[in-house]
A and B are shown apart, each in its own frame.
Chain A
Amino acid sequence: MVDPVTILVTGGMIGSVYVLIAIGFSLIYGVRGVINLSHGAFIMLGAFTYLVVSQYVPGLAAFAVAILAVGAFSLLLYLGLVRYIESNVVITFLATVVVALIVQELLVLRFSLAPRSLQPIISGGIPVAGTRIRYYQLIAFALSWVALGLLYLFVRRTRLGRNILATSMTEKGAKLTGTNVFYVNAATWFVGGAFAGFAGVFIGTLQSTSPLMWVEALGLAFIIVTIGGVGSIKGSIIAAYLIGYLETLTVNLIGAEWRGMFALLLLVAIIIVKPEGLFGREFIE
């Protein structure tokens, strides 16, 4: 018998982590139309950075290190590679996915293919209506909303954030009004990467950490952004919780090996019926 409280709580936790997975991807896609296929690798790097650093320092510090490290990696990838090729969509597609594969193989060399489990930021938990909720699940839920709030303030209230928003609407217009598009791109990649690192720590704790996890993470980012609608933060949030609950129901009612299958099929349906997503802008090629 499936416990509705478990479904409600677990689905909510997973949904809040999936929001984080999708936001970084959505930011980079939304601002410049660059589909960053190394996003899954960013998430994976977040989990592995946390795995290594948390052996030496407390969980919360390791969490901060993971966020900053992945943000820096993302920024470096933009400055060192993507900047030069982003005008060629096909090459950007390919180069970013090749970067993901290089990261994968380097991690295989260092950590082997075996999945690892992360030490939660805070251990322990409390029972709620017969279900044990772990503290790190609550933290994931809370921090996810805090991060979203900070992102909202950043985009609405700071000059750089407003420049990012303007560039995502029309690059030409933003340039004409004196926006430095280079800074906007660099900032977008840093923030997008930082969100991926954030998501990586929690997805690595909730599920598993292995050098192959990037494919599923990238798939999720794709699914959520497409279902929610490209460029719509609100759509991404709703889609993330939708997928979170869908997966929790699947795992509890059918079996763990089916996890992800229905999300993929839902995506196929959405692409065919409503390619602009639930809350997307009019789809422009």
Chain B
Amino acid sequence: MSNPATADAEESPAGFAVPLFDATANRYQLAVLVVAILGLVTIPVWAPSLTYVFAFANIWVIFVVSWDIISGHTNYISFGHSFISGIAAYTTALLTFNIDPEMAMYITLPLSVIMAVVAALVFALPALRLSGPYFSLLTFVSVLVATKAVYIFSQYTNGEMGISTVSVLTFDNTTMFYYTLIPAAVVTGLLLYISRSDVGMVLKAIGQNEVAVEAAGLDTTRFKIWGFVYSAIPMGFGGALLAHFFGNVEPIAFLIVDRSIEMIAIAAVGGMGTILGPAGAAYILIYLRDDLFRTFLGPNARWVAVWSVILILLVYSPQGILKRFWTFLGDLGGDSA
């Protein structure tokens, strides 16, 4: 299915118009993408009972694509992304709990995002100068420190029980679904754009061979810090959104390291560095976890099942199961990718 236009797009030097979707997508890939997007948008019509779970999954899409833009591209595996979203959620919660329960969202939301970016940079600036396991280690520590702080300062954070003064966006599941779908789509689109742009290419090159990128005269630390900012802004937004989704901010759902590991696992299952892969995997895994497994296995055993599925998929297909599926579709068309 090779047509000259796509071949040109592939070979054109960086800096020209960047297509939002993969320039080499063949008709099978496009068909799957269109069906998936249409199916998602019309969920309230054909599966009304799933709107709540998928509204929740929308927020998780924001988390995993934000994780992917830095860690999936540069291979600097962050264990600290629940720290970033958690800071945003707790900023929203602390403002409403300790200052004014009626505080409007147009004040709390920007403040939450700013706090998330600042907190992310406090840990990222020293961490990004280090390489390999030390970056992961330092981000891991950020989550542990924040979780401890929530318990230590429980007169402000209400400890384990959490803060429930945050206003819930809406109690109508269908409305909530679209309130979360639109930000998820915007964030995914923007990050996909960044991923396919020159910046994304440099970030990916850092993941492949950082020394070579440095040798080419690029300041890799600067790119990594910008990548982290691109990641922290939507993370902060997603964290605040999640606070308004539940109306209650507590450590288990917002902060603990399990949540960070979930983000990494979902991104890896979808295919790190592809943005769309992690987004798709978020829908699949959140559906399995919060609907299918919950129905058949109950609230506790579902976790064993979902982590086992993740482990099997990781070992079976380290490059990501959705990425593998995408390549398979690509081969169907006769276009060797």
Interface residues of A (CB under 8 A from B): 35, 81, 84-85, 88-91, 93-95, 97-99, 101-102, 105-106, 108-109, 215, 219, 222, 226, 257-258, 260-261, 264-265, 267-268, 271-272, 275, 285
Contacts and interface: CB of A to CB of B under 8 A. Distances in A.
A264 B83 CA distance: 15
A17 to B, nearest CB: 19
B214 interface: no
B248 interface: no
Nearest to A219: B144
Contacts of B272: 90
Nearest to A99: B311
B292 interface: no
A257 B133 contact: no
A258 B152 contact: yes
A45 to B, nearest CB: 15
Interface of B: 75, 77, 126-127, 130-134, 136-138, 140-141, 144-145, 148-149, 151-152, 256-258, 261, 264-265, 268, 272, 300-301, 303-304, 307-308, 310-311, 314-315, 318
Contact of B304 (A91, A109, A219, A260): A109
B22 to A, nearest CB: 23
Given A94-B265, A219-B140, A219-B141, A105 B132 contact: no
A33 to B, nearest CB: 9
B288 to A, nearest CB: 14
Contacts of A275: 130, 134
Q: Is the interface of B mostly helix, strand, loop or mixed?
A: helix
B268 A91 contact: yes
Given A35-B133, A222-B137, A265-B145, A108 B300 contact: yes
Contact of A85 (B126, B148, B315): B315
A-B CB proximity, top 3 nearest: A105-B303, A105-B304, A272-B126
A268 B304 CA distance: 33
B140 A222 contact: yes
Nearest to A112: B300
A267 to B, nearest CB: 6
Contacts of B303: 101, 105, 108
Given A94-B261, A271-B126, 13 more contacts: A84-B315, A94-B264, A95-B314, A105-B307, A109-B304, A215-B256, A257-B148, A257-B152, A261-B148, A264-B148, A265-B145, A268-B141, A285-B132
Contact of B138 (A89, A95, A105, A268): A268
Contacts of A267: 137, 141
Contacts, number: 97
Contact of A91 (B137, B308, B314): B314
B318 A257 contact: no
B261 A97 contact: yes
B136 A215 contact: no
A106 B272 CA distance: 28
Contact of A98 (B131, B265, B301): B265
Nearest to B72: A90
Contacts of A102: 304, 307-308, 311
A215 B144 contact: yes
Q: Is the interface of A mostly helix, strand, loop or mixed?
A: helix
B226 to A, nearest CB: 21
5 contacts: A91-B268, A101-B258, A101-B303, A222-B141, A257-B151
B257 A215 contact: yes
Contacts of B258: 101
A85 B141 CA distance: 25
Contacts of B126: 268, 271-272
A271 B145 contact: no
Which of B131, B145, B152, B318 is the most central at the interface, judged by chain A CB atoms within 10 Å of its CB?
B318
B137 A98 contact: no
Contacts of B152: 257-258, 261
A189 B272 CA distance: 29
B300 A109 contact: yes
Contacts of A84: 315
A104 to B, nearest CB: 8
A89 B134 CA distance: 13
A219 B261 CA distance: 15
B265 to A, nearest CB: 6
A267 B138 CA distance: 8
A144 to B, nearest CB: 25
A98 B307 CA distance: 6
A264 to B, nearest CB: 5
B300 to A, nearest CB: 5
Given A102-B304, A109-B304, A264 B141 contact: yes
B31 to A, nearest CB: 31
Contacts of A271: 126-127, 130, 134, 137-138
A211 to B, nearest CB: 11
B300 A98 contact: no
A275 to B, nearest CB: 6
A94 B315 contact: no
Nearest to B137: A222
A198 B151 CA distance: 30
B311 A98 contact: yes
Contact of B318 (A91, A219, A258): A91
Nearest to B318: A91
B53 to A, nearest CB: 20
Contacts of B304: 102, 105-106, 109
